[in-house]
Structure formats: structure tokens, C-alpha cells
Homo-oligomer: A and B are copies of this chain.
């Protein structure tokens, strides 16, 4: 599988990759176990601190691992990993070692115990910032504390889930930079 040379991205700039709404792979670690889940319900909430809100359904094996550890890594895969994305979302970490099953490589994170997925083009290390809506909506607000992002391509082709087994693919870009007010860039 493709690998990437990565560098630290300033935390206020991670919206470049999350705001477009790609499906992501969330890794967690708790009591010597690791897991991966597929997640589509997330949004950027603030630049600084760098906040991301997301829904992690309580039925997921990852739910308690993330709630108890207060940490995770949001890994952003490209379209080349679509079969891993689907496979990971259709089995349970209670029964399967997903790194092993799907041929993915766990790398050590710098600030959290959850692992990075080497084959993803971006890895965002996250700490739980606000759990006030976890009970009511399974809604976690994380602070991104470290961002490892591939240096190229600048805009990788990502997949965006629509339900029903179908993904949209975003593999082109349009710039309208010249039409923006400077303060809005």
C-alpha cells in the first residue's frame, strides 16, 4: 500500500482536510488493546483551540475505549483504502484485530496512546475536550493536539459516505481565491 512522507501541520489548518467531510478511521487504545472504527459524522468546531465534534455510536466497541481513555486519533484515508474503510466498518473490534485483518500498520503517536495508521495520508492526535453531550447524543468534542499530514498531494482524493453502501469521491478542486475578501481567507 501507498505510504506517505508527512510533516506537522499547524493545528489551526486541519480544517483543510476535515471540513470537506471525508469518511475517517478513528483509532483508540485502552488496556493494551487497540481498535479502529469508520466514522462519517464529524465537523470542525473551532480553529484555535483546534476542535472537532463527532458522533460515536455507543454500540461501537471503540465507544468505551475512547470514553475511558479520553483520546483517539482521527486518520484520514484516501480512495485507495475504500475496501479497508468498508471492512473496518463491518466487523467488530471485540472479535477482530483490525490492523492485522486489514493489513494496516500501527505507528506510535506523540501525544496520545492511540496509534496512527501509517497508510492514511493524515493522522490527527486528539484529546477529549468536552464530554457534556456524550450522554445525550454520543457527541464527543475533541481537541486536535498534533497533526501529521502528507506533504503531497495537497488535496488527496477522499471518500464521503452517503449511506446505502455508496461513497462520493472528491478528486478535483476549484479555486475562487481571487473572489474572497482577504479576512475570509
- A residues apposed to B, CB below 8 Å: 13, 15-17, 19-22, 40-46, 51, 53-55, 79, 82-83, 86-87, 89-90, 132-133, 137, 139, 141, 155, 158-181, 184-185
Cβ B165 vs Cβ A19 within 8 A? no
Nearest-neighbour CB distance to chain B for A112, whole angstroms, equals 22
Nearest-neighbour CB distance to chain B for A83, whole angstroms, equals 7
Cβ B155 vs Cβ A166 within 8 A? yes
Cβ A165 vs Cβ B178 within 8 A? yes
Which residues of chain B are within 8 angstroms of A89 by Cβ–Cβ distance? 180, 184
**New A-B pairs, 9, CB < 8 Å, besides A90-B180, A132-B132, A168-B170:** A16-B162, A19-B161, A20-B168, A43-B53, A46-B55, A90-B181, A165-B185, A167-B176, A168-B171
Nearest-neighbour CB distance to chain B for A89, whole angstroms, equals 7
Which residues of chain B are within 8 angstroms of A13 by Cβ–Cβ distance? 163
Most chain B CB neighbours (cut-off 10 Å) among A19, A20, A176, A178:
A20
Cβ A174 vs Cβ B178 within 8 A? no
A19 and B46 alpha carbons, distance in the complex (Å):
19
Kindly identify which residue among B55, B86, B163, B176 contacts A43, using a CB–CB cutoff of 8 Å: B55
